[in-house]
């Protein structure tokens, strides 16, 4: 089986895994503008994000097993096409209902990129090496949420909120052409029965019955809940509560993302020496401490952006340590079910992230307390899951 050069593969996997954060973070500075244009409130426009996360998670339940049966490459190509067409619908949406529906379909296509990007890494590398590779990928992928709000804020200020979806459509077209031209099939163990409902349910039961997989899954759930609480709440906290412009909000959001980049970089550098389990332990303790501090400051000093940005930077750094290592631990024992294992992990984590976003969306108009409490709860959940994990 011919495989593309490692450098080109790494760039393509980064581009694929970036599709998820780009689809959420690029239009974040535009959320208040979308709410005004479509005559809704913060909770209403939050549906465009929460429904996307639910669709992204649910789609993975089919995308992973489908790629186990048909191969990674064709499923990626169809996913990119669905994403492109639905993004064009977002560009021309004139009502909240149309935008929410298009975002749901967009998510079903987008989930193929990150899920199958991780599965490709697992196809080609062993557990220890895949943890290192995924950490490098996470570090590079963090450029997406670092830069996306900056460009999204600029596009929103210059040409309006629809320009953010035009940019996403262009990205999807380029990515689809790159997959078609560069990606070779990496699934060495196609499973002709992977899409049978009985087989799918049996695979998911096997995964959930494994304490190691279940522990990694729940740790990631807590981290995702904290992360998406921040993603969902930050536009309204920074723009509506603190009075920032869309460009300033993009900069503030990007500064917090540097924490994730540093955490992922440290993980990649030290994964061989320390191992995934120890890095997760460091991450959950740091994240829980910073999350509790964020919640406390939300009540003690709610009027200053630093009360959100400084502790949240520590939380995102902790998440950078947690997520690649939890993913590697969860997929380590399942080389023949990498697609199913990655898809189930993504489904549960995204579902909890969507729930966290909805909670913040309903309380964020009252200040920073809802954001702080939800982030703290997510990180404390990750810490509790770690304390019961066999990897500890």
Q: pLDDT digit string (tens) for 172-186? A: 999 999 888 887 887
Cα(219)–Cα(221) distance, rounded to whole angstroms? 5
* Cβ neighbours of 176 (radius 10 Å): 18
What pLDDT is recorded for position 99? 96
Domain-embedded: residue 164: yes
| Choice among 134-143, 185-194, 248-257, 261-270 with the minimum mean pLDDT | 134-143
List the one residue out of 118, 103, 78, 143 whose CA is nearest residue 23: 103
Question: What letters, b where the CB count within 10 A reaches 16 and e where it falls short, cover 271-290?
Answer: beeebbbbbbbbbbebbbbb
Domain-embedded: residue 356: yes
DSSP H stretches of helix in 160-275: 162-182, 197-209, 211-235, 246-274
Q: Could you tell me how many residues make up the chain?
A: 392
Domain-embedded: residue 392: no
- Express each pLDDT in 33-45 by its tens digit: 898 999 888 778 8
- The listed range with the strongest mean pLDDT (62-76, 77-91, 314-328) is 77-91
Domain count, the chain: 1
Coil, helix or strand at residue 116: helix
| Choice among 85-99, 144-158, 174-188, 189-203 with the minimum mean pLDDT | 189-203
Rounded mean pLDDT, 46-69: 84
Higher pLDDT, 148 or 282: 282
Domain-embedded: residue 247: yes
Domain-embedded: residue 2: no
In which band, very low, low, confident or very high, does the pLDDT at 1 lie, cut at 50, 70 and 90? very low
In which band, very low, low, confident or very high, does the pLDDT at 118 lie, cut at 50, 70 and 90? confident
What pLDDT is recorded for position 177? 92
Domain at 104, CATH number: 1.20.1250.20
List the one residue out of 5, 53, 25, 9 whose CA is nearest residue 346: 53
List the one residue out of 168, 131, 180 whose CA is nearest residue 329: 131
2 pLDDT above the threshold of 50: no
Domain-embedded: residue 1: no
Task: Provide the terminal-to-terminal Cα distance of the chain, rounded to the nearest Å.
Answer: 38
Domain that holds residue 161: 7-185+192-387
Please spell the DSSP secondary structure of 17-68, one letter per residue.
Answer: HTHHHHHHHTTGGGHHHHHHHTT--HHHHHHHHHHHHHHHHHHHHHHHHHHH
Coil, helix or strand at residue 184: coil
Higher pLDDT, 380 or 121: 380
Residue with tokens 């709410």: 35
Decide if 377 contacts 198 (C-beta within 8 A). Answer: no
Dihedral angle over CA of 121, 59, 105, 246, nearest 10: -60
85 pLDDT above the threshold of 60: yes
239 pLDDT above the threshold of 80: yes
In which band, very low, low, confident or very high, does the pLDDT at 237 lie, cut at 50, 70 and 90? confident
Domain-embedded: residue 299: yes
In which band, very low, low, confident or very high, does the pLDDT at 128 lie, cut at 50, 70 and 90? low
276 pLDDT above the threshold of 60: yes
pLDDT > 90 fraction of the chain, expressed in percent and rounded: 31
- Give this prediction's pTM: 0.76
List the one residue out of 315, 323, 386, 376 whose CA is nearest residue 349: 323
Domain-embedded: residue 213: yes
């Amino acid at each position: 089986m011919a495989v593309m050069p490692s450098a080109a593969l790494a760039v393509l996997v980064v581009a694929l895994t970036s599709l998820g954060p780009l689809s959420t973070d690029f239009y974040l500075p535009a959320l208040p503008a979308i709410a005004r244009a479509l005559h809704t409130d913060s909770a209403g426009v939050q549906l465009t994000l929460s429904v996307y996360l639910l669709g992204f998670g649910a789609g993975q339940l089919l995308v992973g097993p489908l790629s186990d049966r048909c191969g990674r490459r064709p499923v990626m190509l169809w996913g990119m096409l669905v994403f492109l067409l639905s993004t064009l619908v977002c560009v021309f949406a004139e009502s909240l209902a149309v935008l929410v529906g298009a975002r749901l379909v967009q998510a079903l296509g987008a989930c193929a990129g990150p899920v199958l990007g991780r599965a490709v890494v697992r196809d080609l590398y062993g557990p220890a090496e895949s943890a290192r590779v995924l950490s490098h990928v996470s570090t590079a992928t963090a450029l997406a949420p670092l830069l996306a709000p900056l460009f999204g804020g600029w596009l929103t200020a210059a040409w309006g909120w629809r320009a953010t979806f035009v940019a996403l459509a262009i990205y999807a077209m380029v990515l689809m052409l790159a997959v078609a031209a560069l990606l070779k099939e990496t699934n060495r163990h196609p499973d002709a029965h992977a899409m049978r409902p009985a087989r799918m349910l049996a695979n998911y039961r096997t995964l959930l019955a494994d304490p190691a997989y279940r522990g990694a899954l729940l740790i990631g759930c807590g981290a995702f809940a904290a992360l998406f609480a921040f993603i969902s709440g930050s536009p309204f906290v920074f723009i509506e509560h603190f009075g920032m412009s869309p460009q300033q909000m993009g900069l503030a959001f990007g500064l917090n993302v540097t924490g994730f980049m540093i955490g992922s970089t440290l993980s990649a550098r030290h994964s061989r020496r320390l191992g995934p389990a120890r890095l997760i332990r460091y991450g959950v303790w740091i994240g829980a401490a910073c999350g509790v501090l964020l919640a406390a400051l939300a009540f003690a000093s709610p009027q200053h952006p630093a009360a959100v940005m400084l502790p949240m930077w520590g939380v995102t750094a902790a998440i950078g340590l947690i997520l690649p290592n939890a993913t590697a631990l969860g997929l380590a024992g399942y080389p023949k079910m990498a697609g199913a294992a990655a898809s189930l992990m993504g489904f549960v984590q995204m579902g909890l992230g969507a729930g966290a976003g909805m909670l913040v969306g309903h309380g964020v108009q009252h200040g920073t307390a809802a954001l702080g409490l939800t982030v703290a709860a997510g990180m404390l959940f990750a810490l509790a899951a770690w304390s019961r994990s066999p990897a500890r």
